[in-house]
Amino acid sequence: MEQKLKCDVYIGKNLRRLREKFGLSQEKLCAELQCRNCDIGRSTYAKYENGELN
């Protein structure tokens, strides 16, 4: 049987809250993540925050 993951409706809100807590823009956060070998663009990250990706 195929198991589907349950959508976490709070992940985007939590990401935004933490990012803002540390005073980072989406662009600066993504630049920092890319320096740490996590290849994510700002538009993709924005989709996580807006709940379009989970």
Question: pTM score, two decimals?
Answer: 0.77
- How far from the centroid of its chain's Cα atoms is residue 22's Cα? 14
Residues 6+ apart with CB under 8 A from 33: 40
- How far from the centroid of its chain's Cα atoms is residue 25's Cα? 12
Phi, psi at residue 48, to the nearest 5°?
A: -65, -45
Q: pLDDT (tens digit, 9 = 90+) per residue, 10-31?
A: 899 999 999 999 999 999 999 9
On average, the pLDDT of the chain sits at: 89
- How far from the centroid of its chain's Cα atoms is residue 23's Cα? 15
- How far from the centroid of its chain's Cα atoms is residue 48's Cα? 4
